[in-house]
Amino acid sequence: MNALRLSLLFLLFSSLTQAQQWFYPELKPLAAPELAPFDFGVASGDPLPDAVVIWTKLYIESDQQELVKWEIASDTLLKNLVQTGEVYTNGTTAFTVKVDVKNLEPGTTYFYRFQHKGKYSPIGRTRTASQSGERLRLAVVSCADYQGGYFNAFGDIAKQKNLDAVLHLGDYIYEYGVWRGGRKRMMKRRYREHIPDKTCTELRDYRTRYGQYRLDAQLRECHRLHPFIVIWDDHEIANNASVDGAESRNSDWEGRKKTAKQAYFEWMPIRENPERSIVRSFSFGNLAELWMLDGRLAGRSAQATGPNDPALNSPDRHMLGEQQTDWLLNGMKNSQARWKIVGNQVVFSQLNDSKVFDRRPSVRMDRWDGYPAERQHIFDFIYKNDLKNIVVVTGDVHTSWAFELTGDPADPEVYNRKTGKGVVGAEFVTPSITSFNFDEFVPKFVGAEARRRFKKKKNNPHLRYVDLNHHGYLLLTLTPEKAQSDWYFVKRKDRVDDRVKLCASRHIMFDGKEIEK
């Protein structure tokens, strides 16, 4: 009898241990029991003209294979069903459910939900890629640090009407543990704390961190109402990540990269592929084509040590790598779309800040400025093939910028601000959702002076807009005539707050010569 009891207790303990290994127990108090077992909500992404990925994840304790049913319809009540199906999921993916729904109509809004053991998920809304060529509206976001505040920008995006997709350009999560011992100004702005309280290196770490972010009601609602097109930057893996390492690499860098990729693909509504690559393109008819890049793990060389590093200008150093660069350039060359959009992690344009921070190097090694040979190769190709109407959208730097896209803004033989000579498009940079910016680590008067120096024409003649202090998002609207960037800034981030305001706009005309207000 005692032996039988011990066996039963062992089996029970083994089952619970297996079921609880996906997440840290500290995550459970943040759960949304009213949504159980779909506490993380639903999401969709990677819209094609005839397909879209729909996603959910079960938050359950189980060591069994679980059956989940799904349905997608053309109406909000899901009466006019278009497709239905079922899929099994298990602990190897922490009970992720991801379905690539095909044979859909282009430019069409659909509604979907999942069912598990008689319980239904929230109803999600998604949209396939439009081919009409009339208008494209994309919300562009980056850098959402959970500890840095509440996701009010995501809450506002959720309310946006007639949005085709949300472009997330990276730093969806931050891998750090709880902030401690930093600048006093920043410590005062630690509004929430990370789970687990450690730097993410293992699969359960990353899974729990994503789970914490996805239990945020504003982010969850944004995913429910709009399809996302996503790429990672560095903090989904480790700060300043490259192919061969990071700022603080652990002994098993290859293992950590593999683990981080697995967690990312478990949590993102991204189309599966054997390589777990984020490099892909999207077509929106003859209006626009979008290329989403991997400037971290596909081909990036380690950063140069500084502006005096003899390797800085070497053509053997890469941000994208030869294969990805050729794919991008040939894609743009052969594209029939009026606008060519590039989704990119770090600032692509040259940015002279040597007159802004006198005691810091004039070249920031993590930006494209730290990989000048590959950038010059891209511009040489663009000029040689007379490519124009290129829109680069960028995240990473937590601040808002608009640049005229030109090969060398400092060379009058290449670029002329007045005539638009050498301009092939524009780069628009989105602010952070919450991650710190200037006024959170320096006094406001310092930030104001930095902005003034950045805007000096002799420093950055191609710079047409900059804001260093606000958080929010960028709304990119494309029509056959122009590409317009609207910056929406949140009022505050220390609590949930719905005050978000359109604060700046810039646009470039099709075949235009300069960025206009």
The per-residue pLDDT for range 373-406, each reduced to its tens digit, is 999 999 999 999 999 999 999 999 999 999 999 9
- The reply to whether 62 falls in a domain is yes
User: So what's the pLDDT on residue 5?
Assistant: 53
Q: Is the pLDDT assigned to residue 47 strictly greater than 80?
A: yes
Q: What pLDDT does 125 receive?
A: 98
Q: Are residues 346 and 422 in the same domain?
A: yes
Q: Is 455 or 58 the better-scoring residue by pLDDT?
A: 58
Bridge partners (DSSP) of residue 374 are none
- Answer yes or no: is pLDDT of 16 > 60: no
CA dist., res. 290 & res. 281, Å (int): 5
The reply to whether 505 falls in a domain is yes
Query: What mean pLDDT is reported for the chain?
Result: 92
**97-106, 354-363, 506-515: lowest mean pLDDT where?**
354-363
- What does the CA dihedral 412, 417, 420, 426 come to, rounded to 10 degrees? 110
User: Domain check: are 294 and 161 in the same one?
Assistant: yes
Would you say 217 and 198 are in contact if contact means Cβ atoms under 8 Å apart? no
Q: What is the pLDDT of residues 270-314, one digit of tens each?
A: 999 999 999 999 999 999 999 999 999 999 999 999 888 999 999
302 and 426 belong to one structural domain: yes
My answer on whether 89 and 167 are in the same domain is no
**pLDDT of residue 193 exceeding 80:** yes
Q: Are residues 495 and 384 in the same domain?
A: yes
pLDDT the model gives residue 327? 98
- Do residues 175 and 238 lie in contact, with contact meaning Cβ atoms separated by under 8 Å? yes
Q: If DSSP codes are grouped into helix, strand and coil, which group holds residue 466?
A: strand
Confidence check: pLDDT of 6 > 50: no
Q: How far is CA 145 from CA 203, 256, 412, in A?
A: 19, 21, 40
Determine, yes or no, domain membership for 284.
yes
Domain range for residue 93? 22-126
The CATH number for 68's domain is: 2.60.40.380
Residue 4 clears pLDDT 80, i.e. is over it? no
When pLDDT is averaged across residues 206-215 and rounded to a whole number, the result is: 98
Q: Are residues 451 and 436 in the same domain?
A: yes
Whether the per-residue pLDDT at 425 is higher than 50: the answer is yes
Domain end (from 73, 104, 126):
126
Q: What is the DSSP letter of 17?
A: H
Among the candidates 80, 99, 126, a domain finishes at: 126
- 448, part of any domain: yes
Q: Does residue 109 register a pLDDT over 60?
A: yes
| Out of 27-41, 148-162, 237-251, least confident range | 237-251
- Into how many domains does the chain fold? 2
* % of the chain with per-residue pLDDT over 90: 82
Is the pLDDT assigned to residue 12 strictly greater than 60?
A: no
pLDDT of residue 247: 77
Q: Which of 126, 156, 186 is the last residue of a domain?
A: 126
Q: How confident is the model at residue 57 (pLDDT cuts 50, 70, 90)?
A: very high
Using 50, 70 and 90 to split pLDDT, how confident is the model at 514? low
Per-residue pLDDT band for 222 (boundaries 50, 70, 90) equals very high
Where does the pLDDT of residue 249 fall: very low under 50, low under 70, confident under 90, or very high at 90 and above? low
> Could you tell me if 316 and 365 lie in one domain?
yes
* Averaged pLDDT, 211-219: 98
Among 266-275, 302-311, 339-348, 507-516, name the one with the lowest average pLDDT. Answer: 507-516
CATH number for the domain including 401?
3.60.21.70
Give yes or no for residue 10 having a pLDDT over 60.
no
Q: Is residue 95 part of a domain?
A: yes
Cα radius of gyration rounded to whole Å, the chain: 23
Same domain flag for 370 and 428 = yes
- Average pLDDT (433-462) is 88
What residues contact residue 77 under an 8 Å CB cut-off, 6+ apart?
none
DSSP 146: G
Region of poorest pLDDT, from 195-204, 289-298, 446-455 = 446-455
**360 band by pLDDT with thresholds 50, 70 and 90:** low
Q: Report the pLDDT averaged over residues 488-501.
A: 97
DSSP string, 255-290: HHHHHHHHHHHHHS-----TT----EEEEETBTEEE
Same-domain check for residues 271 and 311:
yes
Residues 41 and 111 in one domain: yes
CB 67 within 8 A of CB 108: no
pLDDT of residue 368: 97
Q: Which residue has the higher pLDDT, 112 or 361?
A: 112
In a domain, 189, yes or no: yes
Summarize the confidence of residues 315-343 as an average pLDDT.
97
At residue 439, does pLDDT exceed 90?
no
In this prediction, residues 143-169 reach a mean pLDDT of 97
Name the residue with higher pLDDT: 481 or 12: 481
pLDDT of res. 442 = 80
pLDDT at residue 248 greater than cutoff 70: no
C-alpha torsion 503→509→515→517, nearest 10: -40
pLDDT at 34 over 60: yes
Average of per-residue pLDDT across 434-457: 86
Q: Is residue 6 part of a domain?
A: no
Q: Report d(CA 423, CA 86) in Å as an integer.
A: 51
Position 1 in a domain: no
- Residues 120, 136 within the same domain: no
